[in-house]
Chain A
């Protein structure tokens, strides 16, 4: 297990470096002068002023030197300072990251809580239940997340005024307000995911139920309910855990849309604002954090997978 972990962590570090390098050169290659965005493009600025901004941001130095400085900074735990605000990027990310993690965690819990029982029920009952599950999940998968979000806001916020249309009150300030603010974005984000989890669970349950050892267990006199709950369901979880891991990672991408629709103050909003302003340190910092999160989530999934199926540790 220890060598398995070391191997996975070493791979994660290399992956993080590759992502850092790619995003650094990609954002510096994209057209759009950060100095011009910073000057505001409104009035008053001169070529002399723009050049001074470039120098103060270090953009006048060779790209290789900028990369080396940035890499050294990151190794020392410094993600640089935002061009736009002058604030340390790490500080901005730390301020926004909890909201994104809360959103992802809430969506994952909702999706797992809804998807696994629904899929297990359909896989066990089959027939009409299976058809119903297939239809419902098809709809959930077919409707784009921004449409679901927009409809949710129109119904629950604008029409019925039950929940806020956007924003998030910090938990410490108002726990109820926090939950109210989290509910719509989390449900929206979880919808398609719960459909995937339900389908995967259903397929895994059907496959597992058809195994010989299930018939053997039943013939030993164990009740069907016990066999299902204790053996079939547990043995169906490996593929479900894998899908959960991959899908939680993809939440980081989907949250970009969710945060936009619900004006949710997470790191995706920070990323979009950073790209729009060509705020290189912010873009690089957020992408690195997202990549590291993705890698960590997959690492946890691999470990869980190893616990559920010891054969995986050997591979």
Chain B
């Protein structure tokens, strides 16, 4: 490492002060919170998701892997195993699911440390745990590792959906694919698949992880401020989007198996 790298006191230059950009952002925030309909920064309407690009098999070294790109958010998930559990683990009749989420140093606007995200690792585990047939791989562990290459909002739901595609790609037995979608409550409106800016402005957030074929929710997280009437609608909105996302996952899995059999 260069001599200067260790010394503190470096900073990323901020954008010029009082810039027009900030005013424009503030105006957009007001419109999103108060108007009945207004185009979002990327031109979507309130209930449109970003176009989803998903693919299996970016990491050949893993048993299964998947890449997901929703707008600026880019995620890779690798699945390893079933393989030997850590030596310190006690005997277990059922398999173990081990999840880890980390960010690259350049994932966010300001250079980070690239550390593990413990909260997301735990949430990912909880979202998938109910869907994986743990008794099909006793005594062993399946590792699910996610790396966020670039963070552009709705990171966790995208990690969850991508992880379930990677698990399927690895041939791990599951009751159903898990897809996940989040919405943000902003003033009077509910906005689906929020970007980083929209997440920063939100009054409340809701994340639903869902198994569309079984119509079962594996995880539901509600944060912040919500008025009563909106929650039911928001959950239904998420479930509907999850079902559509699941179709995309299925297509990708069909693509990869038809390629393999050729």
A binds B: no
Q: List residues of chain B with CB under 8 Å of any chain A CB.
A: none
